[in-house]
Structure 1
Amino acid sequence: MRRTFGIRASLLMGAALAASPALAQTTETPPAAPADSASVVEDQGDGDIVVTARRRAESVIDVPIAMSVVTGDQLERTGAVDITALQDKTPNLTLQIARGSNSTLIAFSRGVGQQDPLWGFEPGVGLYLDDVYVARPQGAVLDIFDVERVEVLRGPQGTLYGRNTIGGAIKYVTKRLGNDYAATARASYGSYNQFDLVGQVTVPIGDTFAIGGAIARYKRDGYGTNLTTGADQYDKDVLAARVSAEWTPTDAIFVRVAGDRTLDRSNPRHGTRLVGNGNDPRYAPTGNVYDTRAGIGDRNRVVAQGLSLTGEFSLSDLLTFKSISAYREGATNTVIDFDNTALPTLDVPAEYDDNQFTQELQLLLQGDRVQGVVGLYYLNATASGAFDTVVGGLNLTTLTSGEVKTKSYAAFGDISFDVTDRLKISGGLRYTKDDKTGTVFRRNYAGIRSPRFGNANAVPGLIRTDYTNDRSFDQFTPRVSISYEPRRDLNLYASWGRGFKSGGFDMRGDAVFTPTTVNGYDPEKITSYEVGMKGAFLDRTLFLNMAGYYSRYTDQQVTIQVPNIAGGIASFVDNAGKADIYGLEIEGRMVPSRNFSAQVSFGYTNADYKEFLTFIGGGTTPVDVSNQRVFQNTPEFTAAASFTASTDFAGGSLSVTPEVTLRSDYALFEIPTPALDQDGYALVNAAANWISGDGRYRLGMALRNLTDQRYRVGGYNFPGAVFGNSIIGYYGPPRTATATFEVKF
């Protein structure tokens, strides 16, 4: 790490609003809960869900935003290990573990996202850990422990959440401590020698102070084997922990300090070859998609950690002041073997380093007819790294290194006004200004690896890129909505909003092939229209949410890497032009009795490029290739269905939950690649849980991917003899079974 952990966290006082983990929906107005609303808003049996999508506690049915809410209990009891399981429960969402890693997140919502996790590139779906923005995707595959709920907000959230939420936002809300002693221990054992241990404890000290913590150890053998080194492929070796302290001296003051750390020492995922390279047996695909022949090694280490302080001060019955201060940092050392052979045909050792300090100030208004929030936001972040591109057949290595420094400033406000008891209007506006400094260095070396990665005898060659440049980007992102409630438990709404993702500099940019790379690339922007309905029907036994949307997407940032005639790989970041995206989302829940419930979801996305300008093949003149490009990681259809049936059994309650999820065909890159693109598939999961009558004990069994479906979640495409015709794929988990025992003290 470049800086001592926490040294920048000059933390101010503030507090976070949270919400109930109830399972269904209601339009009942929640109380104006101070501070820790997760502790005071309880499920009273009517299925109330309170969320903080608009930075204040509201019933989910009152929020004019398409969103899904999944509780931590739901995720745990269905065997979900990390947040990528949300993709099975949320329409038009893709959450995957990135190519070659175990803890780097790739996120797309409604066709908008970012697949490239290289330092300096911004995500298109924002991730928040207890209202703290997580700027980098490394270490962002959050495991399911100590979580109250996860809120998935779809569509641009630029007014309240700002930059880089152009496709939506994911809010991971951890559990609050409360004022009572509590402890939980959970142990799981499953397929591939999976062994997980999770422990949580809350200890009150007096009437106003409590401390607590949670620790999780995840260990699993690989789904496959590295046939060259003998190491496990697709294994898991993660240690994660969170600690917090809460102080509530009066009803008007709440303070929380929280820290978290995740250490991932899982082996790198090298993928598997999908095609051969002529008749050379060294490049032949393996018989098992989880096996590899990668020879670059099995070293991989990812650390992500953070410290935050939030506090809330009630100034009056109407006004509350809130502050959220946080410091986060991470470091990654990894290797990627693109050719998946014992040879150094196309190998990449890499390292990443990042840190960020954020400060947010909010003033919340909670009146009888007027509610809202205004605030200020500041981010100071640095993302840096280096990697070698080793082309062994040419005895050539290209070192790429650099960093991007970002300072971001924002002012925002969002106000809702109840025109009548049935008609509500909301308006919001955010101004964001980003100042960025990018430094990029690329140099050729004769030899296998550069001095940076251990080859002191490498012979320096042509410097391909060497520059430092500054750019500033600013944008207004407004949002307006109107809601009408023709009756209790029914909300009809329409909204219009804009979002943007900041511009920047291509960290792989080659100034020899593309001299304009030193100028960087522009922000991308989206304008979105949405109409929706949220309601409860049939005496509150049926809950239904529907949303239709249309988006105009401009200047989309698309990263393209192609082999070049000099034996290296050229990188381009195109501002692609224009695209139209429209679709439909439906989520339903039926609760006919206390012993039975059913859930369904459906998503449809039609994403079409109207203009896609690129310099590839066009020299210094961009050409339009929109008829040859498609949206990546965006299936046209997603669907899911499940039910939970329970009965009294052995002094407790026994429940079973079968589930099926479907995804239609999708491409892994903008350029269709038949060898890589994934056909439609279905996954079948099932879970059973027994909970004792006093709620202290739980026995669970989770079966995932029962049909043992093979499906690609990522890949690379580097054809050509000099690159070993390296077309490789990465796959989702095979069939697994996991047994769990949990006890509460």
Structure 2
Amino acid sequence: MNTLSLRRSSLALAIGAALTSAIASPAAMAEEGAKKAELERIEVTARKTVENLQEVPVAVTSIGEAELQEYGFAVLTEVQQFSPNTTLQASRGTNSTITAFIRGVGQQDPLWGYEPGVGIYIDDVYVARPQGAVLDLLDVQQIEVLRGPQGTLYGKNTIGGAIKYVTKEMSGDTTFNVQGTVGSYNQRDLKITGQLPLIEDKLYVGYGFATLNRDGFGEFITSDLDNQDRENYNKDVTAARVTLEYRPTEDLFFRLGWDKTDDESNSKGGYRLLPSILTDAPVPDSVYDSYTSMPTWNKVELEGVSLTARWDMSDSTTLKYIGAMRESYSPTNIDFDNTSLRIFDVPAIYDDEQTTHELQLNHTGDNYSLVSGLYYYDGESCGQFEAILEVLGQALGAPGLTREVSGCSNSTSKAAYIQGSVDLSEQWSMTLGARYTRDSKEAIVNNGLVFATVYPESGWVPGYVRPEGQLVPTVLDDEKDWSRFTPRVGVEYQYNDDVMFFASYAQGFKSGTFNPRASTAEPAANPEIVDSFELGMKSEWNDNLRANLTLFSLDHKDRQYISVLPGDSAADLNQRLGNIGKSTSTGAELELDFVATDALSFNASLGYIDSEFEEVIDTDPATGLQFDKSDRFSVSNTPELTMNLGATYRLYTDSGDWAFNANYYYRGDYALFEEDSLLTQDSYGLVNVSANWYSTDGKWRVGVHAKNLTDEEYMIGGYQFVAPDPSDPTNISKYTPGLGGDNTLIGYYGDPRTISLTVGYSF
């Protein structure tokens, strides 16, 4: 587990020192003569085979089950604290849509058709869409964060990196685990996991079930709909998993898995940073309070089936197949303006399906190792949203006004890859890898205005009946193919048994795509390309200090970006997608683990990155001339400095074992949007403290977890549909109204201070 953060201000250093000194008193450090303990070996699957973390020439953070439990991590996004230069946050209108950035590379817009920049994997199965990707941690073995392009082994859409959610293989024993949690905001969680042998040493079944509930951090102050749940930022999730594992011989292994998640948490309402000019609603007192004119219900349904088959052909050769089908359905309500009027309401539906197949061959020789494979992906991503501008429509003399956009983006991807490492001498080795990918994409977009208030389905609001037939014209129906060869070249130098240096070049690409909001038959945007160079060191010193350092530089070319085009009126939502941008990033990442004694250990991580747009070429629609507007752009969701400093103190007694954890996590300031961002989150720090008790027989566990002790308020998303006043552009407090005719500047916030108590029992 690694995350250091050294803040540039003395205040943060003082807080970090106070945390560690509070946990590690001089008396505790002197206990048992300050006996030294050794680092634990960490195994990762970053290169699709099990290896020691210190032998992998890739920047990887791995957090195991024990650490996840002791720190009280409940969802995938909390892992960002322990991985430098990483952003994992819940997106704007829901609890379960992820915004993922690594080293300044990601994808902010979750609309169907757009491709992510950071790949999410569950047991090596690629999760193509961000909806539902804020995974609740259930029966997890470890989380791995791979930073930098992973285009050779993991393929397209990993130009920033990859997040791997690894579940546990079964041991064959009968086990049963139950865990309950109560906490702030009426948190009520229950998790049950276990396994049962059906045929001894041959066939096992595993199961998991979770119900996760919490009241809202705030409320919807007003709503013009009756019988609506007024909770805002609440949680209502049910998840289940069943796994069947079969080992007919020592050389064969089969795993069949099924999982399903239902998230019925309310749609999140945003916080108005400016008072409305069309209503009398003031800025709310709490950042978790909101106004809405929409239903507050929301839904995310996820279901998947996967099959893994592994054949150990010999001691040195393994053949593996991974196949999966996943689908998701999410009707959602997003009130962009967050008022009691229908100024800018967006009800939407996301409907996605995917099928993947991967055949992998791993081989190890006397002085080399090889990973190779074939990969196939077939996905269908569809959706529909209504931009309801009823107030504007009434001002124009119509009963309402809605811009409806719908369509599908269907794609297939075929790839072949190979990567090998060869020992050139006792100290020198080389890694060579290559992947060839061919993508095909078909897209259809329907887009147009309806002079009425329209919802996606009948019954969306009480009494509403949707007109039959297609309401708006088809403006785009096209297809295109792309192919890409992505290489990796690296060299490693084993200075001694405990220190390795490495240098590498890697390339990755994000797939090309059509504009899902197209208003005309515009061409597709080509793939984005990232070229990355790394210098690194993996080291262990005196068996109790692990220090891993990576220096990196990357060029991000052909960045896809939406430009908003002026229209004849404020009702126009004209957007054009193109490859208009180029950005660069350079930085450093340091991860430390220090075992001071059998009782006391520290972990730290530090990430520094300097990211900027070097070129953004756009075309003036009035003159047709091109111009560079890079001075108006920022690399979003990317603080210059991220840092974490943590400590663990263990106390062994006759009545049980104790583990006390504390960490301070710091994020520097960052912009939430690329172009003319009006939303910037100032730097902030989170203080988290946990205490865990384990019974002497190993059956009981009790944990108390306090997160965000100082109750920091920090933005993790937003919407901006305003512009600086042209008569006074330097005055950031003066704006002109945007789409819908109101001052729509909205923020979404991370969790406030919470305290929880967890009790677990296992046998």
Q: 1:561 to 1:713 in 2, by over 3 A?
A: farther
- Which of 504, 517, 521 lines up with 2:513 in the alignment? 504
The equivalent residue for 1:293 is 291
* Residue 59 of structure 1, aligned match among 52, 65, 68: 52
Is the contact between residue 657 and residue 693 of structure 2 (CA under 8 Å) also seen in structure 1? yes
Q: Is 1:374 equivalent to 2:377 in the alignment?
A: no
User: Does residue 389 of structure 1 match 2:407?
Assistant: no
Is the Cα–Cα contact under 8 Å of residues 451 and 458 in structure 1 kept in the other structure? no
Aligned counterparts of 1:457 and 1:135: Cα–Cα separation in 2: 31
User: Residue 441 of structure 1 corresponds to which residue in structure 2?
Assistant: 446
Tell me the residue number matched to 2:31: none
* Corresponding residue of 1:324: 322
Which segments of 5 or more consecutive residues in structure 2 lack a partner in the other structure? 4-36, 224-228, 394-399, 723-736
Report the AA paired with residue 360 of structure 1.
E
Match of 1:336 among 334, 337, 356: 334
Residue 281 (structure 1) shift: 4.9
TM-score by length of 2: 0.89
Q: Which residue of 191, 202, 210 corresponds with 2:195?
A: 202
Partner of 1:102: 95
The alpha carbon displacement at 1:582 in A equals 0.7
Name the stretch that deviates more: 542-551 or 174-183: 174-183
Return closer, same or farther for 1:411/1:459 CA change in 2, 3 Å cut-off.
closer
Q: Provide the rounded CA distance (Å) in 1 between the counterparts of 2:55 and 2:336.
A: 49
Equivalent position of 2:636 in the other structure: 632
Q: Which residue of 1 is the match for residue 741 of structure 2?
A: 723
Match of 2:757 among 717, 725, 739: 739
Q: CA deviation at 1:595?
A: 0.6
Measured against aligned partners, the alpha-carbon deviations of 1:238-260 in whole angstroms (never above 9, x if no partner) come to 00111101111111101111111
- For 2:33, the equivalent position in structure 1 comes to none
Provide the residue aligned with 1:253 in structure 2.
252
> What is the distance in 2 between the residues matched to 1:197 and 1:559?
43
Structure 1 residue 144, shift from structure 2 partner: 1.3
- Retained in 2: the 8 A contact 1:427–1:480? yes
Structure 1, unaligned runs of 5 or more: 1-20, 24-43, 512-516
Per the TM alignment, residue 649 of structure 1 is displaced from its structure 2 partner at its CA by: 3.5
Alignment partner of 1:282 out of 277, 280, 285: 280
| Amino acid paired to 2:504 | S
Give the residue type in structure 2 aligned to 1:119: W
SS at match of 1:345: coil
Indicate how the Cα distance of structure 1 residues 620 and 359 shifts in structure 2: closer, same or farther if over 3 A, else same. farther
Matched, 1:493 2:502: yes
Q: Does 1:481 align with 2:485?
A: no
CA RMSD across the alignment? 2.1
Mapped contact 2:239–2:260 kept (Cα < 8 A): yes
In 2, the alpha carbon distance for the partners of 1:291 and 1:243 equals: 38
Shift in CA distance, 392/737, structure 1 to aligned 2, threshold 3 Å: same
Separation of aligned partners in 2, 1:174 and 1:342:
44
Q: How does 1:523-602 map to 2 (within 5 A)?
A: 523-537=527-541, 539-561=542-564, 564-566=567-569, 567-602=571-606
Q: Distance in 2 between matches of 1:650 and 1:243?
A: 38
User: Counterpart of 1:249 in 2: which secondary structure?
Assistant: coil
Q: Is the Cα–Cα contact under 8 Å of residues 2 and 62 in structure 2 kept in the other structure?
A: no
CA distance, structure 1, for counterparts of residue 706 and residue 209 of structure 2:
24
Correspondent of 2:479 among 448, 470, 473: 470
In the alignment, is the contact (CA less than 8 A) between 2:524 and 2:578 conserved in 1? no
**Aligned pair 1:606/2:610, yes or no?**
yes
- In 1, the alpha carbon distance for the partners of 2:565 and 2:238 equals 37
| Counterpart Cα distance in 2 of 1:117 and 1:647 | 46
1:421 aligns with 2:426: yes
Structure-2 change in CA distance of 1:544 and 1:562 (3 Å) = farther
Indicate the larger mover: 236-245 or 650-659.
Answer: 650-659
Deviation digits for residues 342-370 of structure 1, max 9, x if unmatched? 11000011001010110000111022211
Kindly state the Cα deviation for residue 45 of structure 1 after the two structures are TM-superposed: 7.0
- Deviations along 1:529-551, whole A, 9 cap, x unmatched? 000001101x2111000000011
Shift of 1:571: 2.3
Return the structure number with greater relative CO, CA threshold 8 A, min gap 6.
Answer: 2
* Whole-Å separation in 1 of the counterparts to 2:84 and 2:293: 39
Q: C-alpha displacement at 1:458, in angstroms?
A: 7.2
Alpha-carbon offset, residue 560 of structure 1:
4.7
Inter-partner Cα distance in structure 2 for 1:295 and 1:575: 37
Q: CA offsets, 1:66-115, max 9 Å, x none?
A: 01001122122212110100111110000010110111111000000001
Contact 2:475–2:518, Cα closer than 8 Å, also in 1: no
Contact in 1 for aligned 2:293/2:342 (Cα 8 Å): yes
Structure 1 partner of 2:212: 218
Matches of 2:629 and 2:478 in 1, distance apart?
29
C-alpha displacement of 1:615: 3.8
Write the mapping of 1:612-627 to structure 2, written as runs, cut at 5 A.
Answer: 612-615=616-619, 620-627=624-631
1:431 aligns with 2:412: no
Amino acid at match of 1:602: L
SS of 1:275's equivalent?
coil
Amino acid of the residue matched to residue 481 of structure 1? G
Contact 1:336 1:349 (C-alpha < 8 Å) held by counterparts: yes
Deviation at 1:320, TM superposition (A): 1.3
TM-score, length-scaled by structure 1: 0.91
User: What is the CA-CA distance between 1:620 and the residue it aligns to?
Assistant: 4.3
In the other structure, the counterpart of 1:693 is: 696
1:146-182 Cα deviation digits (max 9, x unpaired) = 1000110000000000010010000000111111111
Cα distance change, pair 573–697 in 1 and its aligned pair in 2 (3 A):
same
Residues 99/520 of structure 1: CA separation in 2 closer, same or farther (3 Å cut): same
What secondary structure is seen at the aligned counterpart in 1 of 2:340?
Answer: coil
**Partner SS for 1:73:** helix
- 2:311 — aligned with what? 313
Amino acid at match of 1:558: Y
| Maintained 8 Å contact 1:578/1:609 | yes
In 1, distance between residues paired with 2:615 and 2:675? Answer: 14
Q: 1:318 to 1:443 in 2, by over 3 A?
A: same
Paired with 1:164 and 1:622, the residues of 2 have a C-alpha distance of: 29
Q: Deviations over 1:89-143 (max 9, x none)?
A: 1100000101101111110000000011111111000000000000011111111
The residue number in structure 1 matching 2:351 is: 353
Q: 1:265 to 1:615 in 2, by over 3 A?
A: farther
User: Is the Cα contact below 8 Å between 2:444 and 2:474 reproduced in 1?
Assistant: no
Structure-2 change in CA distance of 1:451 and 1:289 (3 Å)? closer
Alignment check: 8 A CA contact 1:408 1:434 kept: yes
Percentage of pairs with the same residue: 40
Q: Deviation of residue 697 (structure 1)? A: 0.9
Q: How many residues align?
A: 698
State the partner residue of 2:41: 48
Counterparts of 1:99 and 1:307, CA distance in 2: 28
* Secondary structure of the corresponding residue to residue 555 of structure 1: strand
Structure-2 separation of matches of 1:322 and 1:620: 54
